[in-house]
Each structure stands twice: as structure tokens, then as C-alpha cells.
Amino acid sequence: MNNYNTFYFDNFIERYAAQIGKTVLYLRSTGWNTSSDVDAINASYTLYKDILPGDLWTALKNSEHVFCEVDDDVADTIEWCRDNLPASQASCTTPENYIFYSICNAEGQQLASNE
């Protein structure tokens, strides 16, 4: 292994978004995967089942890391995340409810995140 490139995770997502020419939404169900409080996790599952589209909810429940190639306007994606996900980990009073998001536009620029 002599020829390779090394990237940080964020840079990898940015490069992917630019390569496909689409907005990429990265979600990480941090709160569901870092807690041992089963009741709080189940309550968070119930909360988000009413907020997230069904396939996205299932993906986050099955995998801590989920990527979405978004065809919508990037401003609509940012607005949806701000309306439906915690503003930051520090502002989330119930840690199990924290879902991290990051949005990269089609040019590979990170435009928004909740950290």
C-alpha cells in the first residue's frame, strides 16, 4: 500500500457530495447509541417516529450513521433539520434525543450542522 490519500470524515463527505453533484445530509443517532437508559432510548424512538420519514427512522435505528443524497433545495434541507432536530448537543436536555446532522451542498461545502 504505497499509493493512497487520507481524508478526515468530514472531508470525505464533502468530496462525495461534490463528486455526485448533490446535497448530502449526514445523520448520526448519537443519543440512541451512547446511552444505557433503555426507557429514554425507547421514548426517543417514539418521539422521532412521528418526526422522521419511516425509511429514515428505520435506517437510523439500524445504523448509527446514515447518509442521504438529497434532491430538494439545500435551503429546504437546512430548514427541515433546524425544525426537526436538536440545535446542538449542549442544548439537548435529554441526551438520548440528540441526533447529529451535517449538510454539504453539491459543490462539497459544509453549509450547516448542529455542532
- The domain total for the chain is 1
Q: What sign does the CA torsion over 54, 60, 62, 67 have?
A: positive
Examine residue 4 and state whether it is found in any structural domain, yes or no. Answer: no
Residue numbers of the domain that contains 47: 9-113
Which phi and psi (to 5°) does residue 87 adopt?
Answer: -65, -35
Examine residue 3 and state whether it is found in any structural domain, yes or no. Answer: no
Examine residue 45 and state whether it is found in any structural domain, yes or no. Answer: yes
- Is the confidence at residue 7, as pLDDT, over 90? no
Residue 112: HSE in the Cβ half-sphere, 13 Å Cα cutoff: 19
> If pLDDT is split at 50, 70 and 90, which confidence band does 68 have?
very high
Residue 72 confidence (pLDDT)? 83
- Is the confidence at residue 33, as pLDDT, over 90? no
| Chain center to CA of 103 | 8
pLDDT in tens, 98-107: 999 999 999 9
Examine residue 22 and state whether it is found in any structural domain, yes or no. Answer: yes
Among 85, 102, 99, 84, which residue's Cα sits nearest to residue 34?
A: 99
Spatial distance between the Cα atoms of 94 and 72, rounded to a whole number of angstroms: 30
Examine residue 1 and state whether it is found in any structural domain, yes or no. Answer: no
